[in-house]
Amino acid sequence: MRAYVEFAIKKFQNKMTYRLEFFMGILDTIISLIVYLCIYNALYGNEASVDGITLSMVATNFVISLGLSNAFHFDEFFLEKRVNEGSICNEFLKPVNFVFRMFSENAGEGLFKVIFNFIPAVIFAIFYTELCKPSGLLNVLLMLLSVVLGYIILWLISFIVQTWTFWFLSVWGIITIKNVFVNILSGSMIPIWFMPSALRRIIAFTPFESIYFTPVRIYLGELSGMDILKGMGIQILWILILMLIANLFWKKGVKKLVIQGG
């Protein structure tokens, strides 16, 4: 376990060395927040709420989902690079589980960006616009837990797509398409409240809603009591399903690698 924590810490430290990237990251998040908030400000006009959703709820949704999606952005070519270089085989000789190691590195980067990118953006947003207050301390704590689950879902989706690198030379295109799906369907571009109800019903059957929207709803108090447990239960269910799929692709890919060579 310590070895994996060490991978996360090393990646965390590594990120510290790129100061420009770090400032640009904050700037990027803040600019996108301003753009989205301006658009919704104009759309709302003088309306207090649309479909029962107030402007400050929308703003809160964007701060959490857009802010986190920027913070959770990691190197999605981790696997492709190692497979194409052939160095993946040597990685297998390290006495650690490669997948856990990869997750640890990505999570270390994510944690770094949450602290140095997401939190400054939240602070900026508090002064810039009106946000909803959390419905309680417990909700904030549960939201944090839900955010972690959401991250794992996001990571697993990316990992599954990355494993296709064992069959395709380049996964750039697939990853780009995947990201469009994730960005739109997870509500980090259009709040899920405003999706057409037919689409919303479909999204409810995908893991995308569990990434950011569940934490947002817990924070806002839209989910309470048993509904919080249900929301998080669905997140855990998705994690299990995605882990099964990921495991399947990973095992098949590695098998192909040891049979056909790197």
Does position 169 interact with other proteins (CB under 8 A)? The reply is: no
- In the complex with other proteins, which residue's Cβ is closer, 1 or 137? 1
Does position 133 interact with other proteins (CB under 8 A)? The reply is: no
Does position 92 interact with other proteins (CB under 8 A)? The reply is: yes
Q: Applying CB under 8 A, which of residues 97, 170, 176, 247 lies at the interface with other proteins?
A: 97
Q: Applying CB under 8 A, which of residues 24, 49, 85, 251 lies at the interface with other proteins?
A: 85
Does position 96 interact with other proteins (CB under 8 A)? The reply is: yes
**Which residue, among 105, 216, 97, 106, has the nearest Cα to 151 in the 3D structure?**
106
Does position 93 interact with other proteins (CB under 8 A)? The reply is: yes
Does position 222 interact with other proteins (CB under 8 A)? The reply is: no
Least Cβ distance, residue 260 to other proteins (angstroms)? 6
- Identify which range of 10-18, 41-49, 128-136, 205-213 contacts other proteins by CB under 8 A: 10-18
Instruction: Using CB under 8 A, count the residues that bind other proteins.
Output: 24
Cα-atom radius of gyration of the chain, to the nearest Å? 19
Q: d(Cα 245, Cα 237) in Å, to the nearest integer?
A: 13
Give the phi and the psi of residue 145 in degrees, each rounded to 5: -60, -40
Does position 251 interact with other proteins (CB under 8 A)? The reply is: no
Say whether 53 sits in a helix, a strand or coil: strand
Q: d(Cα 10, Cα 105) in Å, to the nearest integer?
A: 8
- In the complex with other proteins, which residue's Cβ is closer, 95 or 173? 95
- In the complex with other proteins, which residue's Cβ is closer, 105 or 209? 105
Alpha helices in the chain (DSSP H): 2-16, 19-44, 55-71, 78-85, 88-92, 98-113, 119-128, 137-163, 172-185, 197-203, 213-220, 226-260
Does position 260 interact with other proteins (CB under 8 A)? The reply is: yes
Least Cβ distance, residue 100 to other proteins (angstroms)? 11
Does position 111 interact with other proteins (CB under 8 A)? The reply is: no
Q: d(Cα 217, Cα 57) in Å, to the nearest integer?
A: 10
- Do 62 and 216 contact (CB within 8 A), yes or no? no
| 3-state DSSP of 136-151 | CHHHHHHHHHHHHHHH
- Do 188 and 67 contact (CB within 8 A), yes or no? no
Binding-site ranges for other proteins (CB under 8 A): 2-3, 6-7, 10, 13-14, 17, 85-87, 89-90, 92-97, 258-262
